[in-house]
Amino acid sequence: MDLKSGYPFWAIRNGLMHAFPRLERDLRCEIVVIGGGISGALIADELAAHGHDVAVIEQRDIGWGSTAASTALLQYEIDTHLIDLCKQYGEADGALAYRACAQAIDDLGEVARGLRDVDFRRSASLYYASKPGHIPVLREEAALRSRHGLRLRWLEADALESDYGLRAPGGILSECAASVDPYRMAQRLLARLQRNGAQVFDRTKVATMRATQRSVELRTDDGLRVRAEHAVICAGYAAQKWIDQRLARNRSSYAFVTDPLHKDELQALDTTMVWESARPYLYMRSTGDGRLVVGGCDDAIDLPARRDRRVESKARELVKKVGQRFARLQLKPAFAWAGTFAETSDGLPWFGPHEQHGPRVQFAMAYGGNGITYSMIGAGLVRARIERRQHSLARLFSFERGER
Ligand SMILES: Cc1cc2nc3c(=O)[nH]c(=O)nc-3n(C[C@H](O)[C@H](O)[C@H](O)COP(=O)(O)OP(=O)(O)OC[C@H]3O[C@@H](n4cnc5c(N)ncnc54)[C@H](O)[C@@H]3O)c2cc1C
């Protein structure tokens, strides 16, 4: 599965940071993690930190899947409004999901603190109404979020204009958000794991998987055998191939990054990420070296060649959309790229065992706009499942919620 087009900024900026070996002989371990993206890295780190014997197997180079294409805004704000989530799953569960995402940003900050220079930066998040007709829903959304302890302020159009240079009829300013270099974080986590004795292999593709009551057996496409007590499938959008049931639809998302801008140009955007209520939404955030990362213009294209051809025209469209909202910003893309992105119908991820493979195989499908935040939550969830402990999100974030 070709997950990205053009050169994702993180891969250009960082190159291949660490050398990991290929798997060259049969392997036995307690838990095998399939996929060395940000989900596999966070989950393997959590498991190893709690005493489990973990091995990670990645078919490409580490972090080279959709992680390298991610714009990595870390938000508590799920693509589905809290008001809609509450209607679908009840107010307690809707609020639980939102609060867990807010907690996950703190947890990601904690993980980042233990790593060198992964560009983790706290920021605010501004969610503006794309048109006046969206104001009533956003006000209702703001009131419900406040009621559940999420810290935010409502900003009127004149405040948006004066504080951000943004032309929009109103919006929600939340305190809780962050951003990170996701590729660097995955590389650093797995390099640390390797230094601490875990086995991390790249350029090794898992071809087949067979789970029994007691163990899981994998075969690589070179015919090597991996036996483990548990497998965790962190294969990103490719994970769908292991389950017959259709769980998400693939979309393409487009992004570009500018060269570093002067502080005067960035102004409040240096410390505030911005997104909007229209779908697909335009979004924007800064990097530690003063660039702006802009993304959006998602479409339903699932063919890499067609997606690749659109990268330049989509970047032009994004530049235009930014100019329409922020008159002072005439952005020039330094790099533009696209990536595959999977969306579930309710915006929630899938973590845990699926009946098709039984309890020894945990899936970590961090689908949706909050993929990285979900992966952080998934790390705790998957560990709880393997250790047979309760977890407050075990039902809502698992395949069981489909039964409601
Ligand atoms: C353009 C774009 C923008 C995004 N923006 C955001 C954002 O702002 N905020 C956010 O939170 N999320 C965002 N996301 C989503 C986020 O990037 C994903 O949720 C995240 O990268 C998923 O990580 P992952 O490790 O699950 O998947 P991946 O990074 O794709 O890793 C899965 C890995 O599994 C490997 N693999 C697959 N099959 C096998 C096999 N059989 N054997 C061995 N290895 C295998 C793949 O090679 C791959 O490296 C964005 C995504 C895109 C594309």
Task: Give residue ranges with CB within 6 A of ligand 1.
Answer: 3, 34-40, 57-60, 64-67, 69-73, 205-206, 234-236, 238, 253, 255, 295, 339-341, 366, 370-373
Count of H-run helices and E-run strands, the chain: 10, 18
Query: Is pLDDT above 80 for 106?
Result: yes
**What was the pLDDT predicted at 95?**
98
304 residue type, one letter: P
Q: Whose CA is nearest to atom 12 of ligand 1?
A: 371
Tokens describing residue 320: 């235009």
Using 50, 70 and 90 to split pLDDT, how confident is the model at 2? low
Q: Please give the average per-residue pLDDT across 364-390, as a whole number.
A: 97
Judgement on whether residues 291 and 329 belong to the same structural domain of the protein = yes
Question: Domain tally for the chain?
Answer: 2
Same domain, 262 and 330: yes
Q: Which of 320, 343, 366 is the last residue of a domain?
A: 343
In a domain, 201, yes or no: yes
**Which of 325, 343, 361 is the last residue in one of the domains?**
343
Tell whether 356 and 334 lie within a shared domain. no
Note whether 266 and 289 are same-domain residues. Answer: yes
| CA–CA distance, 25 with 307 (Å, rounded to integer) | 38
Q: Mark whether 243 and 353 lie in a shared domain.
A: yes
Is there a single domain that holds both residue 285 and residue 265? yes
CA distance 177 to 75: 5
**Domain containing 353: what range?**
4-69+183-247+347-403
Residue 150 domain flag: no
In the reported structure, the alpha carbon of residue 245 is separated from the centroid of ligand 1 by a whole-number distance in angstroms of 20
CA–CA dist 315, 220 (Å, integer): 38
Asked whether residue 256 falls in the same domain as residue 338, the answer is yes
pLDDT at 4 over 80: no
pLDDT of 186 > 60? The answer is yes
Both tokens of residue 147?
């009621």
What are the angstrom distances between the C-alpha of 3 and each of 12, 209, 249? Answer: 16, 22, 14
Task: Please name the residues in contact with 63: beta carbons below 8 A apart, sequence gap of 6 or more.
Answer: 10, 36, 37, 38, 41, 182, 183, 186, 187
Which ligand 1 atom is at minimum distance from the Cα of 40? 25
Q: Specify the CATH number for the domain of residue 299.
A: 3.30.70
Do residue 322 and residue 212 come from a single domain? Answer: no
